Structure 1
Amino acid sequence: MELRGKLALVTGGSDGIGREIALQLQGAGADVIVTGRSAEKLQAMAALGFGTIAGDLSTAAGVDAVVDGVSGKPLALLVNNAGVGSDYALEDATTLDSAAHCIRTNLDAPVALCTRLLSVLRAQPEAVIVNVTSGLAIAPRAGGAIYCATKAGLRSYTQAIRHLLKDSNVRVIEALPPVVETNMTAARSGKKMSAHDCAAEIVHGIRTGKREVNVGMVKILQLIHSISPAMARRIMLRF
């Protein structure tokens, strides 16, 4: 996709990977609208020339706000990036609310936005949907059961709608990041990819027509999974 002059919407675009994607899309000449929950962060993005939409995508009102915010605009690129973790713990019913919040944000919201904005995307000569999943969509880690489930669900959904839209003007991309340095992963130790470098690979995939963007170390995980899915699962469950 030629990004110059295109209108893009990046959910969760005021922080982390989403912010870096938005900045790099803007740098390539796109007009970018970002969504987020923090008024302060959205104000900072507005000061940089971004359109902004405030909304919590775990709620129906938040999804409505995003849809209404791009109504009547020539949206050509939808990046479903917003995501949250979960404090879910097996046998602890008090963590089910956290699990539900994660499911609504990471899976329900992208499905709703793809569904409700598809007619807008179809109206453009060329359009792209990018669903940001995770390397954990390929093989889960035991410590993140709900998060992994949402990303695996979004991966399956993405593959299905790619087939449904194969003869249309709307291209569907899945982006699978590794562990990235963001607020969500701040408590985790170990090697992390920078949000800037992660976003650069995703934006490159948008520009060059990729169907799937395996980012950083996910390339190795995909290779292992192609050889032995069982081995990939054994590795990641202990990760």
Structure 2
Amino acid sequence: MKITGKTALVTGGTDGIGLEIARQLMAKGASVIVCGRREDTLASARSEGFEAIQADLSNAVGCVTLATALADRSIDMLINNAGMSGNFGPGEPLDLALTDQAIFLNLNAPLHLIGHFLPGLMQRPEAVIVNVTSGLAIAPRAGGPVYCATKAGLRSFTQSLRHNLRDTNVHVIEALPPVVDTAMTRGRINGNKMSAKQCAAEIVDAIATNAPEANVGMVKILRMIYSISPALVRRIMIKF
């Protein structure tokens, strides 16, 4: 896709991977709209020149709020990046309210937004939908069962959506990041983490080159090992 002159909507675009994607798309000549929940991060995004919309995508009302705010706009890129962990550790009770919130934000919200924006995307000369899943969509870890389940569900949906839209002007990309240094992983996952800037660069490159997937960073190695022995990858990742 030629990024210059396009309009992109990046959910969860006020911090982390989403903000870096927004910055890099803008640097390549795109007009970028971001959405988020917190007014302080929205204000910061506006100070960088982004159009920023407040919307809580952990429920259907928030998805409608965002779609309504952009009802008269032409969107070329829909980047479903917003997400949350929803984790619970060994021996901890499952917080059902938090679980429902995570399932909606990570899985239902991308589906709702695709439903709202797909008719408009179909009218553009070229358009792209990017669903940000995770390397954990390939094989789960014990410490994040809710997160892994939602990302695996979004991965499956994305693969089917890509097939269904194969003869249209809408290109569908799945982005699978590794562990990235963001607010969501700080204090939860230790060890080496990819920078959000580097992760975003690989996702933006996938958009520019019309790749079907962006296997980011160490996920490339994960995919290679999985192609040889899925059972080995599952044994390794469940303890990660």
* TM-score where L is the length of structure 2: 0.97
Whole-Å separation in 2 of the counterparts to 1:11 and 1:180 = 17
Deviation at 1:125, TM superposition (A): 0.4
Q: What's the secondary structure of 1:184's corresponding residue?
A: coil
Q: What residue in structure 1 maps to residue 118 of structure 2? A: 118
Q: What residue in structure 2 maps to residue 225 of structure 1? A: 226
Q: What residue in structure 2 maps to residue 82 of structure 1? A: 82
Whole-Å separation in 1 of the counterparts to 2:186 and 2:91 = 26
Query: Which residues of structure 1 form unaligned runs of 5+?
Result: none
Q: What residue in structure 2 maps to residue 46 of structure 1? A: 46
Q: What residue in structure 1 maps to residue 164 of structure 2? A: 164
Deviations along 1:13-53, whole A, 9 cap, x unmatched? 00000000000000000000000011011111111111111
Deviation at 1:161, TM superposition (A): 0.5
Map 1:25-104 onto structure 2 (within 5 A).
25-88=25-88, 95-104=95-104
Map 1:191-210 onto structure 2 (within 5 A).
191-210=192-211
State whether residues 86 and 147 of structure 1, in contact with CA within 8 Å, keep that contact through their aligned partners in structure 2.
yes
The structure with the largest helix share of the pair is 1
State whether residues 107 and 153 of structure 1, in contact with CA within 8 Å, keep that contact through their aligned partners in structure 2.
yes
Alignment partner of 1:132 is 2:156: no
Whole-Å separation in 2 of the counterparts to 1:114 and 1:90 = 35
Q: What residue in structure 2 maps to residue 153 of structure 1? A: 153
Q: Which amino acid aligns with 1:10?
A: V
Query: Which residues of structure 2 form unaligned runs of 5+?
Result: none
State whether residues 205 and 213 of structure 1, in contact with CA within 8 Å, keep that contact through their aligned partners in structure 2.
yes
Q: What residue in structure 2 maps to residue 189 of structure 1? A: 190
Deviation at 1:87, TM superposition (A): 3.4
State whether residues 7 and 76 of structure 1, in contact with CA within 8 Å, keep that contact through their aligned partners in structure 2.
yes
Deviation at 1:74, TM superposition (A): 1.2
Aligned length: 239
Whole-Å separation in 2 of the counterparts to 1:127 and 1:134 = 22
Deviation at 1:59, TM superposition (A): 1.4
Whole-Å separation in 2 of the counterparts to 1:115 and 1:146 = 23
Whole-Å separation in 2 of the counterparts to 1:67 and 1:91 = 40
Q: Which amino acid aligns with 2:119?
A: S
Q: What's the secondary structure of 1:185's corresponding residue?
A: coil
Deviations along 1:121-141, whole A, 9 cap, x unmatched? 001000000000000000000
Whole-Å separation in 2 of the counterparts to 1:89 and 1:105 = 20
Deviation at 1:90, TM superposition (A): 6.8
- The farther-off stretch of 82-91 and 109-118 is 82-91
State whether residues 87 and 147 of structure 2, in contact with CA within 8 Å, keep that contact through their aligned partners in structure 1.
no
Deviation at 1:3, TM superposition (A): 0.6
Q: What's the secondary structure of 2:203's corresponding residue?
A: helix
Whole-Å separation in 2 of the counterparts to 1:238 and 1:196 = 27
Deviation at 1:236, TM superposition (A): 0.3
Q: What's the secondary structure of 1:171's corresponding residue?
A: strand
Q: Which amino acid aligns with 1:189?
A: N
Provide the identity percentage: 55
Deviating above 6 A after TM superposition, structure 1's stretches of 4 or more consecutive aligned residues are none
Specify whether residues 49 and 214 from structure 1 end up closer, same or farther in structure 2 by C-alpha distance, changes over 3 A only. Answer: same
* TM-score where L is the length of structure 1: 0.97
Deviation at 1:93, TM superposition (A): 5.2
Deviations along 1:130-189, whole A, 9 cap, x unmatched? 000000000000110010000000000000000000000000000000000000011121
**Aligned-residue RMSD, C-alpha:** 1.1
Q: What's the secondary structure of 1:201's corresponding residue?
A: helix
